[in-house]
Structure 1
């Protein structure tokens, strides 16, 4: 039975950041062989009085003071457990009536499914060998239905309920608003097709980060990672959680009165913590929550659509008369309107972030994208038709919760169900982003571009628990502002920059590696179209909203010294190394997490 030593300080792997190796962690068997070789070369003198016949402990570690951490946690001190294939004998230690400090026994964590801290077993009784051994790693547990639920649940969130007002504001007319929603849906399909080829060609979790790292190396990948960690992930999750809180609390306040900021932020933080807990327990739990909330959000949108269509067929078409009147033809306003619709479509690349956990991605990815985007685009267009059928331009622009106003005008006494279902919708989207964002953090740490402890996996649940907790922490920082439109502008500009950089890798691989295996190959015109439109969406809003652009560029600039000092330099400050060793050590103890293993 293989054991993991948690003695202090932990063994941290120092990666050469110029290498582009995907697999930063050696397999379990490789670590055992390495430990054997090191023991034969320079065995340590470790007092182990009850087991004098033991040839050598596995692996040799320091002890005594290091045993205090396990005593504080109340763990049972065990003898070293050795693999029967590589050891001659393994003898248990009887700790009854003996001083543990004199014996200097090192506490180890077993990686079997039935032997965890607090549940120690006699190693001589474990004769099942490899049959009971479980490699600590992410599992392929996400099938086609789950993929569809993940994409639909991740896309349909707060965007469809907060963006219609902003899109109408920037376009100036009902007709042009509808055009922008349709074009944005087509743009999302083109982007999904491009990432479909990249995702099946490079089947790694992490999405855009993984592709940029493979194409351009660690520095451009770190710039994207830095933008995601400082702007993208926390802003998008803050938007979703604040929208959830706003809709959940809205029924408790008079019409037209927005909830106070304190309870709004409290509910938003509570949602993030709850979803983080669910995702740390089991991937299947998170997927079940995602599927359930996806059904609920589709249900509430179907109710809105059917209600709107009823009013439409009964003759309420006046709001579509002169649909393009008062259209604002300013290209900077157009680009800003696209910002808000594309935010509503954000999430079509969800599968690329968790590719290592998708079953048969070459088969399931195209089907999932086709089904889910067809559903989403149809629902979005019909939902906007329903909104414009019931609400005029003045009502749309004056409402902070369009769906609530819609329900109050059409559903009467049962209008209170609308904000509840809308809250479920935004919660489902936030759950999906929790799943994908944590995998980006996990993969980045595995490659050495974030602290190594963020790539640790829970020994029993096989979830990236440290990455999930880190994702929740950085998300709550954004609650310093509650202006959703400002957050959308920040995230949209940085997101477009990252999207352009990612799509450029498409051309890089086509030119530099034309013979690279591509299970799915798309028409070259798709990435060209995406790139041209992406430039338009990046440049024109910069003219109208320079402060958001300057803030994003400052964030990009700060990534360069951080990369040089914390990653590229070989002679890192001793204090930083000592501090990260401590964090890694206590992260393993506190969260029962270890580095991911590879099967041999």
Structure 2
């Protein structure tokens, strides 16, 4: 009983209710860079160096290796994004390649736990950095941090519901600001390296320290890959990128190369000012670095961390809305979630439900700690996505592929994914991992009646109809796959 799109799209100029291709190359690069660079580069250097046994050479190699692995993953995703330029990212590709049930398990895990909890964690960290200057020497009250976190989630939720251009503008501005912050750290480090002979000591015999064993190397890799989180977000917005066959591969390569270079240079800058032991003993490496180099304006670094987190959170909110939107279009979520606002042409219902779920995670913030035990599932989804790529290569050989990845790269990513899924479980087996698996597979109890057998809930159509009128949303028209601008 939902209202037809024709009844509510009078204000749409071209008569089509669908997501518009409005994001160009610069927007895509800024979106991806802004999503990747969050708090990780300000936090992870300590963990990487600690697990590398203070071996500077190995630590820098780990940072480069994490970037190379992410580029390999991105190349696989670029093929899927250019050949299937639709919203939904991994969820849509798994559904196309492996079927409906694996896709439902994917979206169940992502939208009910991993992504909302990740956004809630970012919002809380942002709230802590913003409120910390007002509580010098004391931690900010938890209640204040939760109120600020929920407030910023809803601010970004409203921005992303009102206008794609506005959310893109926010992402571009904050990406430029965080790159300026990293440039500041790099420039000071290079000046120190050129003017202070002692600054180059950590690099003269970079590999002379104790070499970490296999387990320690894996742990340092886990620490480093945290800083690269978000590399897969571009595929979630493929339906809104202009000329996706060209812009997706170009944006991915440009963004990832820029991030790797900046990460390596920032780590070198840290090491020119601080010794490896000082980095490992520091609670916040970037803050300690600022206190040593620019004590009069050291407040710039906490502000830079807050700016980085804000941009990353905006990208996370944008992506999660598209994931909900795609799941609804494919029949795995209620139909209302896939509808677009008739004036703004944004997935407003999807953004609202994403914001509500993330806000719920903020309230009992200890729930967020459970996301550590879902870390393996993220790489499980990466592995399934690359398996889907291989399956589609053989099952749909005639599918138009503007970009094709070298197939051994896809097999390499699958092998890395298997390692990253099994390593934490084997190395540190805990009952929480079992709970995580049970949560993932509990989705089958929902899938069988409501998706497979299409069980209909009484009065649900009437509720959908009333929500359409309240939110001024309309079902989308059939999307025409346009691979050109």
TM-score by length of 1: 0.74
Residue among 156, 159, 181 paired with 1:278 = 159
- The structural deviation recorded for 1:587 is 2.2
Distance 1:170 1:150, change over 3 A: same
Aligned residue-pair number = 475
Aligned position for 2:16: 135
| Mapped contact 2:340–2:347 kept (Cα < 8 A) | yes
- The range that moved more, 434-443 or 487-496, is 487-496
Aligned position for 2:51: 170
| Mapped contact 1:161–1:403 kept (Cα < 8 A) | yes
1:337 & 1:484 partners in 2: Cα distance? 25
Taking the TM superposition and a 5 Å limit, the aligned residue runs for 1:48-127 are 110-113=8-11
Aligned position for 1:591: 471
Q: Is 1:557 the equivalent of 2:441?
A: yes
| Mapped contact 2:192–2:273 kept (Cα < 8 A) | yes
**Alignment deviations for residues 189-220 of structure 1 (CA, whole Å, 9 cap, x no partner):** 10111111111111211111111111122101
| Mapped contact 1:157–1:426 kept (Cα < 8 A) | yes
- The structural deviation recorded for 1:378 is 0.5
Distance 1:250 1:328, change over 3 A: farther
The CA RMSD over aligned residues, in Å, is 2.4
Residue among 2, 9, 12 paired with 1:10 = 2
Taking the TM superposition and a 5 Å limit, the aligned residue runs for 1:245-284 are 245-254=127-136, 257-284=138-165
Which sections of structure 2, spanning at least 5 residues, go unmatched?
Answer: 481-485
| Mapped contact 1:190–1:526 kept (Cα < 8 A) | yes
Aligned position for 2:108: 226
What secondary structure is seen at the aligned counterpart in 2 of 1:577?
A: coil
- The structural deviation recorded for 1:177 is 2.4
More helix by percentage: 2
Distance 1:247 1:326, change over 3 A: farther
| Mapped contact 1:206–1:439 kept (Cα < 8 A) | yes
2:465 & 2:368 partners in 1: Cα distance? 41
Distance 1:336 1:265, change over 3 A: farther
Asked which structure has the greater RCO (Cα within 8 Å, sep 6+), the reply is 2
Aligned position for 1:406: 289
Aligned position for 1:370: 253
Distance 1:168 1:259, change over 3 A: farther
TM-score by length of 2: 0.91
Whose Rg is larger?
Answer: 1
**Alignment deviations for residues 208-264 of structure 1 (CA, whole Å, 9 cap, x no partner):** 111111112210100111110123211321232222223222333335x54332222
Taking the TM superposition and a 5 Å limit, the aligned residue runs for 1:343-382 are 343-382=226-265
What secondary structure is seen at the aligned counterpart in 1 of 2:231?
A: coil
**Alignment deviations for residues 64-116 of structure 1 (CA, whole Å, 9 cap, x no partner):** xxxxxxxxxxxxxxxxxxxxxxxxxxxxxxxxxxxxxxxxxxxxx542228xx
- The structural deviation recorded for 1:472 is 1.2
Distance 1:481 1:323, change over 3 A: farther
Aligned position for 1:518: 401
- The structural deviation recorded for 1:491 is 4.4
1:309 & 1:484 partners in 2: Cα distance? 41
| Mapped contact 1:231–1:490 kept (Cα < 8 A) | no
- The structural deviation recorded for 1:479 is 2.5
- The structural deviation recorded for 1:267 is 1.9
| Mapped contact 2:2–2:464 kept (Cα < 8 A) | yes
- The structural deviation recorded for 1:388 is 2.6
Aligned position for 2:33: 152
1:245 & 1:412 partners in 2: Cα distance? 23
- The structural deviation recorded for 1:494 is 1.3
1:226 & 1:287 partners in 2: Cα distance? 27
Taking the TM superposition and a 5 Å limit, the aligned residue runs for 1:192-203 are 192-203=74-85
- The structural deviation recorded for 1:515 is 2.9
**Alignment deviations for residues 291-316 of structure 1 (CA, whole Å, 9 cap, x no partner):** 00000000001111111222223222
Taking the TM superposition and a 5 Å limit, the aligned residue runs for 1:327-476 are 327-331=211-215, 333-476=216-359
- The structural deviation recorded for 1:544 is 2.9
